[in-house]
Chains A and B, each alone.
Chain A
Amino acid sequence: NAGVIQTPRHKVTGKGQEATLWCEPISGHSAVFWYRQTIVQGLEFLTYFRNQAPIDDSGMPKERFSAQMPNQSHSTLKIQSTQPQDSAVYLCASSLGGNSDYTFGSGTRLLVI
């Protein structure tokens, strides 16, 4: 069990460029979550999928951010026209769903310059 795999580990983009972050959940886990972590805000929920269907994206910024889960083996978080305030560690987690524990990936550290 390789755990939740996130790629890339680090990403530097120029302001206005697009960034795509990848997450491979643990095999068999039906729920996938995206969080963003900054020193100021702490851990912020962004969105989550259950059985590949988007369930709750209430934490996603209304513009520029989108997430997809085209198959059960991976999810992507895309940020268009990145801004310096998007700099953060983006964390993906998966769980069996329902009343079960979460496993987090190592995160993608995004820096927008």
Chain B
Amino acid sequence: GQQVQQSPASLVLQEGENAELQCNFSTSLNSMQWFYQRPGGSLVSLFYNPSGTKQSGRLTSTTVIKERRSSLHISSSQTTDSGTYLCAMELNSGTYQRFGTGTKLQVVP
């Protein structure tokens, strides 16, 4: 089964609204990372956040490793935030990152 579950699958916001994206993991993990991708664009790392809370501008990431979940909060959304947000996990045993299917965000004026 899918080891990384992301929700919601898609989201439409009015500019200025806030959003909370969720990432849940079905197994113990060593670390996790949030990425952003524009259509046809490359993956840009937003946060590497194995635990705790990190903030960068309007974005805040909170990871609770024991509960196998992470969230990404976007405040005061802008049209330029539109795109796909992906989370990825690395298992305790290491090896490669496993990705969720992403949350497709559209922010409309």
Contact = CB atoms under 8 A, between A and B. Distances in A.
B98 A45 contact: yes
Interface string B23-42: 00000001101010000001
A55 B94 CA distance: 11
B96 A56 contact: yes
A103 B46 CA distance: 11
Interface string A15-36: 0000000000000000001000
Interface of B: 30-31, 33, 35, 42-45, 48, 50, 86, 88, 90, 94-99, 101-102
A99 interface: yes
Given A42-B101, A99-B50, A104-B42, 4 more contacts: A43-B86, A101-B45, A104-B43, A107-B42
Contacts, number: 42
A102 B88 contact: yes
Contacts of B44: 104
Interface of A: 33, 42-43, 45, 48, 55-56, 91, 93, 98-107
Nearest to B88: A102
Given A99-B30, A100-B48, A91 B43 contact: yes
Given A42-B101, A42-B102, A102 B33 contact: yes
Contacts of A99: 30-31, 50, 90
B27 to A, nearest CB: 15
Contact of A42 (B30, B50, B96, B99): B99
Which of A43, A55, A56 has most chain B Cβ within 10 Å?
A43
Given A99-B30, A105-B42, A107-B42, A48 B96 contact: yes
B95 A106 contact: no
Which of B88, B96, B99 has most chain A Cβ within 10 Å?
B96
Contacts of A55: 95
